[in-house]
Structure 1
Amino acid sequence: MHSPGTEQLKRVLKPVHLWAIAVGLVISGEYFGWNYGWKDAGTVGFLITTGVVTVMYITFIFSFTELTAAIPNAGGAFTYAYRALGPLGGLVAGYATLVEFLIAIPAIALALGSYMHFLYPPLPVLQVAIAFNVVFVLLNISGIKESAMFSVFITLLAVAELLLFLGIIAPSFKMENYMANSTPVKWGGVVAALPFAVWFYLAIEGVAMVAEEVKDPKKNIPRGYISALATLVLLALGVMVLTGGITDWRTLSNLDYPLPEAIAIVLGRASGWTKVFASIGLFGLVASLHGIILASSRQVFAMAREGYLPKQLSVISHRFKTPHWAIVASGIVSIITLCTGKTNDIIILSVMGAVVMYIISMVSLFALRRKEPTLDRPFVSPFYPGFPVVALLIAAICMAGIMYYNFIISLIFFGGLIIVGLIFIAMGKHKESAGTVPVEEPFADIKSE
């Protein structure tokens, strides 16, 4: 055992790594999941839903970047809420973020299993999903620089493949297909489809959780966020619109592998290109699985360091300089969830965690502006208070819509929060002083092996 304070996370990440991690975290949302929104809203209604959600993410990311650059800490929203709102605020933010990221892992793993099953029908979906989980837990333990280099490589492949996909299907796009069976727009459907539009961008804020491993975070984090968001907006709108116009979109609205199926419709199922596309389609899913395991483990690590989770989860590996027990814990939760849920239900639960986290992050931004007006803010939210207000309002509408159309899943989410909160209060942690979370040297008390 090494003495406390001798092991720290390494600052090795540059803007290109942050772009790759941010896009990699999210890009599986372009490959699957969003198409479930068509069932509720149709193509035109879902385009409206996605437009509203895109505005939310643009205003949210520009606002959230103020927090991330000012307080570059692995805890992300948990740290900001703890500092702005106290221990209970930190608990709500941490719980919501854990649900968002830990539950997104099995959703992506199931999609990976489905893609492999599409390519090779004898392969069982669940077992393949579990195998991918194990492989990427081990990769993440091996080191942040190695993980980041893999993120750059796999994300570039995933983006290139989506551009190739758009190029292949664009000539087959017909507006009459896109408009068919989609009018009149039903506003109930537009609201019900919100979780699947959020899935297009969900987890981009995960870059905050590697903030302690970024070189010159106050300059590089904004660059990484903004370039990633621009990439994702263009890809999301392109994939959604063009895919909806190549056939009867209803045939694609209930699949975990809509893009390979779309290519099969355009080129023919027997075409060798269909198999090739489905094979490289794994890149986007792999990029997100890898990135979200990375981000979720840092959230577990940060909460354990503050005493919200068992302290053992804050141990950093002496050899790899990564929070190995936190990574293993993330993998275990994912495997358990894999065995219990459906993809669309898992997505909705993950999105619910995200939206609650967005709400409390914007509240924290306002609170910190009042509480710590002299805090060094290298990046300031543009059009303040307009951007954070817009992000907060749309997130609140999303939350209300998700709760209305998904009562049982909402009950599970908030029931878990109540149980965690009662345990937290019984332990007396709500009485602890929030103080201020250190920014530059947050690892002075970390245990290491």
Structure 2
Amino acid sequence: MPEPSSNTTLKKTLGPLMLWGLGVGYVISGMYFGWNLGLAEGGTLGLAIATFFIIIMYITFTFSYTELACAIPKAGGAFDYADRALGKNLGFLAGMAQNVEFIFAPPAIAAAIGAYFHIFLPEIDTIYIAIAAYLLFTGLNIVGVRAAAIFELVITILAVIELLIFAGVCLPSMEWKNLEMNALPNGFQGAFAAIPFAIWFFLAIEGVANVAEEARNPQRSVLIGFGSAIMTLVVLCLLTFVSAVGVDGWESVVYPPGSSEPSDSPLPLALAKIVGDGHFLYHLLITVGLFGLVASFHGIILAAGRSTFEFGRVGYLPKGMDKVHPKTSTPANALLVNMVIGIIALLSGKTGEIITIACFGALTLYIISMIAFFQLRKKEPDMERPFRVPLYPLFPALALIIATIALIAMTIYNLKLAGIYALIMIGTYLWFQFTNKNG
């Protein structure tokens, strides 16, 4: 593998606080919308069961992944770990799964941003607003990773504060009987159907690893940033879930009054039950809720750029994808290509399906990463590991088992989308086999 030159090297500018901001920011939109659709599948208990196991998966996965990120702090994340541990074929599949997750999650969030702004600017079509968001935040990422990370940190802090305010207003009105109301409408199989929406609570947290190469003292910064981010997200997930559903039962945060169509705005629905839709806090939630969407949209664009850049740097993508901007040292070409693909996906109008495909990519990534983890422990026992996962081998084994079960369950409940995802992976793998010249 060729040594990186000056025009394929990323600048080291990030500390632990910035990495915390990125880690929480990648994910936080999942607290504001999307998760409530799992209630329609599994009810309160079904989604709670799915979320319980997904939380275990993400905690054990995150600490296992931190060991890999600290030992191999490179922009490719899962691709670099799998390539080193399992060879180029599984390395390619891990990297491609990562690209699918990071490239397909932003269009779904962009659609939500467009729909949100459409409330205030009804004369402008949502698709134009969503495309404008793509152009704006891709541009910000090209300007420089430090500027992008500072912006991400600020809006993430605002989004976290708003979630805490929401919980503070709703928890005093929470009643246990509301959590028990029609708690398992579709039986225990509803818990399996709710899995993608439980994953949406935490999807893309692993993107922290993709900026490890740009961290100052990555071994220390990644551990602190990654660990504090997952703990913050677990607390926010539990607070948001219990406080929203506990106000008036799960159906009131899925279906708006008088509608049978699921809503993308569960928190305003819950808050309106307490303070009404004309209250200052209600409007504050809607306004600041936008920051949660923007934080995840912008942050995942950042991680996707690094993932695609690393694929180009090792020659798995066409020439030019491995180049950084001469002035800002950011992967401009990779960011622009990802934006074009994202806008094409956005134009399909299939937001829910796009989210599910992103989840397929994420679970594939988690499974291959944990296999790579065990292989590296066996193959390179003397590798410098500044951080070692606690309770080895329990943590990586739990992450691997739960991710595998979740992938099987998602496939059973989403056969058509599983087929589309398989076609993407098989098609790109065959292209890789025919075009890769790196031996």
Is the shorter-chain TM-score for this pair beyond 0.5, marking a shared fold? yes
What's the counterpart of residue 82 of structure 2? Answer: 81
Which 4+ residue blocks in structure 1 deviate beyond 6 angstroms? none
**1:37-436 alignment, distance < 5 Å:** 37-183=38-184, 186-253=187-254, 254-427=262-435, 429=437, 432=439
Give the counterpart letter for 2:140 in structure 1. Answer: L
Q: Quick check: 240-249 or 319-328, which moved more?
A: 240-249
**1:427-446 alignment, distance < 5 Å:** 427=435, 429=437, 432=439
Q: Quick check: 65-74 or 130-139, which moved more?
A: 130-139
Separation (CA, whole Å) in 2 of partners of 1:334 and 1:184? 35
Separation (CA, whole Å) in 1 of partners of 2:145 and 2:129? 25
Separation (CA, whole Å) in 2 of partners of 1:265 and 1:346? 31
- CA deviations over 1:165-192 (Å, ceiling 9, x no partner): 1112222222222211114772211011
Q: Is the 8 A contact 2:59 2:230 kept in 1?
A: yes
Q: SS at the partner of 1:50?
A: helix
Separation (CA, whole Å) in 2 of partners of 1:364 and 1:401? 23
What's the counterpart of residue 258 of structure 2? Answer: none
Q: Relative to structure 1, is the Cα distance of residues 199 and 325 closer, same or farther in structure 2, using a 3 angstrom cutoff? A: same
Separation (CA, whole Å) in 2 of partners of 1:266 and 1:128? 31
Separation (CA, whole Å) in 1 of partners of 2:378 and 2:37? 41
For normalisation by structure 1, the TM-score amounts to 0.92
Q: Is the 8 A contact 1:69 1:218 kept in 2?
A: yes
Q: Is the 8 A contact 1:56 1:394 kept in 2?
A: yes
Shift of 1:265: 2.8
Q: Is the 8 A contact 1:119 1:275 kept in 2?
A: no
Q: SS at the partner of 2:207?
A: helix
Q: SS at the partner of 1:313?
A: coil
Q: Relative to structure 1, is the Cα distance of residues 394 and 223 closer, same or farther in structure 2, using a 3 angstrom cutoff? A: same
Shift of 1:388: 0.5
Separation (CA, whole Å) in 1 of partners of 2:174 and 2:114? 29
Separation (CA, whole Å) in 2 of partners of 1:414 and 1:287? 30
What's the counterpart of residue 259 of structure 2? Answer: none
Give the counterpart letter for 2:118 in structure 1. Answer: H
Q: Is the 8 A contact 2:41 2:186 kept in 1?
A: no
Q: Is the 8 A contact 2:44 2:245 kept in 1?
A: yes
Separation (CA, whole Å) in 1 of partners of 2:336 and 2:21? 23
Q: Is the 8 A contact 1:36 1:344 kept in 2?
A: no
Q: Is the 8 A contact 1:119 1:278 kept in 2?
A: no
Separation (CA, whole Å) in 1 of partners of 2:395 and 2:73? 21
User: Which segments of 5 or more consecutive residues in structure 2 lack a partner in the other structure?
Assistant: 255-261
Q: Relative to structure 1, is the Cα distance of residues 87 and 24 closer, same or farther in structure 2, using a 3 angstrom cutoff? A: same
Shift of 1:120: 4.8
Separation (CA, whole Å) in 2 of partners of 1:248 and 1:383? 38
Q: Relative to structure 1, is the Cα distance of residues 39 and 397 closer, same or farther in structure 2, using a 3 angstrom cutoff? A: same
Give the counterpart letter for 1:297 in structure 2. Answer: G
Separation (CA, whole Å) in 1 of partners of 2:186 and 2:63? 31
Q: Quick check: 59-68 or 333-342, which moved more?
A: 333-342
RMSD (CA atoms): 1.5
Shift of 1:359: 0.0
Separation (CA, whole Å) in 1 of partners of 2:119 and 2:309? 36
Q: Relative to structure 1, is the Cα distance of residues 141 and 406 closer, same or farther in structure 2, using a 3 angstrom cutoff? A: same
Give the counterpart letter for 1:306 in structure 2. Answer: V
Q: Quick check: 412-421 or 116-125, which moved more?
A: 116-125
Shift of 1:12: 1.0
Separation (CA, whole Å) in 2 of partners of 1:133 and 1:50? 30
For normalisation by structure 2, the TM-score amounts to 0.94
Separation (CA, whole Å) in 2 of partners of 1:418 and 1:225? 32
Shift of 1:148: 1.1
Q: Quick check: 151-160 or 182-191, which moved more?
A: 182-191
Q: Quick check: 325-334 or 223-232, which moved more?
A: 325-334
Matched, 1:34 2:42: no
Shift of 1:371: 1.3
Q: Is the 8 A contact 1:108 1:285 kept in 2?
A: yes
Shift of 1:125: 2.4
